[in-house]
Chains A and B, each alone.
Chain A
Amino acid sequence: MVQPLDRLKESASQTAGPYVHIGCTPNFCGIEGVYPDDLGRTMLKPETKGERIRIVGRVFDGVGTPLKDALVELWQADAAGLYPSPQETRGKADPAFSGFGRSPGDMASGEFVFDTVKPGKVPFKDGRPQAPHVTLWIVARGINLGLHTRLYFGDEEAANEADPILSRIEHRSRVATLIAPKTVEAGLPTYRHDIYLQGDRETIFFDI
């Protein structure tokens, strides 16, 4: 026998289940008075720098039915492309921006919503700029291990074209599943982004 590596194994994932809201967004599911607000509900302050945008979408299963019990988390850089994280070494991110959002699907429609700012560009590991993007993490009943994907912006065509990750995806027809078209709703730039867990329109998910 060779020497053991003595490395621990990561704790195995389990589904978040249908009642994930009790722990992650208790006020949303009617448990009030324990936490003053649900974590990740508000990403912005009045003084946050950057262009206000809204990200809206639904998560669909393989039958085309929207999930009404999914929880979507969002992580992104600030308007200057800096992450509000101790691991960020390039500068200090906007202190008025959390970078983290968490949205339960509306109990009737399944729609998730994030009010945020458009992120700046973040470098790829070789220094090339990545196109502006946000990371999304999806958990729900029936999902055994959280699914990572990205949302890119439909009005950043040139940057998306040059993006080091998008440009190396072999099946070009699938790239569109990561790009949210821009609309304007109630005067607010809005990116509608539906996620398909399974089937012909299946969203690209990453092993990160």
Chain B
Amino acid sequence: MSGGSFYQRDRTWHPPAFTPGYKTSVTRSPQKALIALDNTLSEMTGPVFGHGTLGTLDDDLIRNFASDGDPIGQRIIVHGRVLDEDGRPVPGALIEVWQANAGGRYRHKKETYLAPLDPNFGGCGRTISGEDGSYRFRTIKPGPYPWPNGPNDWRPAHIHFSIFGHGFAQRLITQMYFEGDPLIWKCPIVATIPDKAAIERLIAPLDMANTVPMDSRAYKFDIVLRGRRSTLFENRMEGN
């Protein structure tokens, strides 16, 4: 059940490299075809991080940078499961997140947007999925953010996700969007994804059942990583 090569990535589902509506991709997209490489151990293996990697507040963005109070903004819980394409949970997956504050301002040396920093909000968090693939963290809902692509482009509210599965070929970075945000369908970065169904999989629904009354609303965001075959070597068949 573990250790085999990964199912081929469906590159018609993912965004292609060259997407001129997102201007920076024009000079940062390879023009030659990718060379197909059958998985070897170098791709089937990958780093696995233990819970010793984590500090106690790593999954709590409301507290992990706060110095003299809570950050300003809508308190939310983001939770979900990491699954593979066969629907099996992926336990032990390191999930890193980053985001702007409630006003759409990132805490980064190169950021110049005029909305103010929040002295109690850093914007980074991480956690490791449990045995059933589940994860959760607490944060402030990020604000939309203007960016110099077109003359009046705004990113929808979003949280960046970086996920390690069990093999380096599963490595994935994506973005989570929020149900009902009208900016989603105007965004040139969202529009790099050709299939509307693939975009909808990145939109987290409001999840009232996991809301904490009088405290925080909740959004659910499941992440699917590549599935894998059960044999490690073609010349040493194990399982099917």
Contact = CB atoms under 8 A, between A and B. Distances in A.
A9 to B, nearest CB: 6
A72 to B, nearest CB: 12
* Size bracket of the A interface: 35 or more
Nearest to B4: A87
Contacts of A203: 30
Nearest to B29: A198
B202 A14 contact: yes
B106 A11 contact: no
A88 interface: yes
Chain B contact residues, majority secondary structure: loop
Interface string B73-90: 000000000011111000
A142 B166 contact: no
Contact of A63 (B27, B34, B45): B27
Given A12-B15, A126-B235, A143-B28, A99 B3 contact: no
Interface string A72-98: 010111000001111111000000001
Interface string B23-48: 01111111110111111111111111
Interface stretch (A109-117, A127-135, A180-188): A127-135
Point out which of B9, B64, B86, B168 has the most chain A C-beta atoms below 10 A from its C-beta. Answer: B168
Contact of B45 (A12, A83, A147, A202): A83
Nearest to A63: B27
- Residue with the greatest number of chain B CB neighbours at <10 A, chosen from A24, A33, A63, A144: A144
A182 to B, nearest CB: 21
The winner among A10, A16, A130 for most chain B CB atoms within 10 A is: A10
Contacts of B49: 39
A19 to B, nearest CB: 5
Contact of B35 (A75, A125, A207): A207
Contacts of B3: 87, 89
A8 B14 contact: no
B98 A85 contact: no
Contacts of B124: 22-23, 26, 31, 34-35
Interface residues of B, number: 95
A197 B22 CA distance: 16
Contacts of A107: 109-110
A77 B223 CA distance: 28
Most chain B beta carbons < 10 A, residue from A21, A98, A203: A21
A165 B35 CA distance: 10
A99 B47 contact: yes
A61 B42 contact: no
B224 interface: yes
B9 A12 contact: no
A162 interface: no
B235 A127 contact: yes
Contact of B171 (A146, A199, A205): A146
A87 B108 contact: no
A198 B86 contact: no
B128 interface: no
Contact of A12 (B8, B39, B86, B198): B198
Given A20-B160, A77-B42, A85-B45, A14 B173 contact: yes
Contacts of B53: 39
A205 B34 contact: yes
B83 A87 contact: no
B123 A31 contact: yes
Interface of A: 6-24, 26, 29-31, 33-36, 39, 61-63, 65, 67, 69, 73, 75-77, 83-89, 98-100, 107, 122-127, 130, 133, 135, 137, 139-148, 150, 165, 169, 174, 197-199, 202-208
19 contacts: A11-B224, A13-B14, A15-B189, A17-B160, A22-B98, A30-B107, A39-B49, A62-B26, A77-B41, A88-B41, A88-B45, A125-B234, A130-B42, A142-B29, A144-B19, A198-B28, A202-B32, A204-B35, A205-B34
The 6 A-B residue pairs whose C-beta atoms are closest, nearest first, are: A23-B98, A142-B24, A142-B28, A85-B45, A100-B47, A144-B15
